[in-house]
Structures are given as structure tokens and as C-alpha cells.
Amino acid sequence: MKNESTTYMDYKMDDADAAALAAIAEELKSIRNNDCEEFVLLTGKYWTGENSGDFLDKVNQAVSKIDRNISRIEKAAQTVTDIAE
């Protein structure tokens, strides 16, 4: 059986894990918002060739996957927090 001290330490470790997951999600959001959006805008502006639309479709699919993974990481962080509490 766990004592109060052990339970508190487990909670602190879980809380740190949740914070680490949340930080990863924030970093991915920053990359997505800054780098991906700029890349798509500049590519669309300067590449007007026949294949540019197909390429940008692929990029947008990748960005959508990033968005889904950000959401999953945020949900995992929240789940860890909820369980720890």
C-alpha cells in the first residue's frame, strides 16, 4: 500500500509528464502556425507551375496530420492530469 508521501511523488511525476506533453503540443503548434503557414503562402505565391497545386495539397494533408497529432497530445496531457488528480 502506498503512503501519502509516495502518492504525492507519483502525482508530481504525473503532473510533470502532463506538463511535458503540453509543452510538446505548444511547440508543435508554434511550428505549425509559423513555419507551415508561411511555407504554404510563399510556395503558392512563387510556384505557379502545373504541379504546385498537387504539392500544396500534399503539404496541407501533412499540416492536417500535424493538427490531429497536436490534438491527440493535448488530450493525452489532459488525461494524465485528470487521472493524477
Question: Which residues constitute the domain of residue 49?
Answer: 4-84
* Residues in Cβ contact with 25 at an 8 Å cutoff, skipping those fewer than 6 apart: 70, 73, 74, 77
CA angle 38, 39, 43 (to 5 degrees): 115
Entry pTM: 0.76
The yes-or-no verdict on residue 80 having pLDDT over 80 is: yes
pLDDT tier at 1, thresholds 50, 70, 90: low
Torsion angle (degrees, nearest 10) of CA 5, 17, 79, 67: 170
C-alpha cell at 24: 510538446
- Number of domains into which the chain is organized: 1
pLDDT single digits (tens) 17-70? 889 999 999 999 999 998 888 898 899 899 988 899 999 999 999 999 999 999
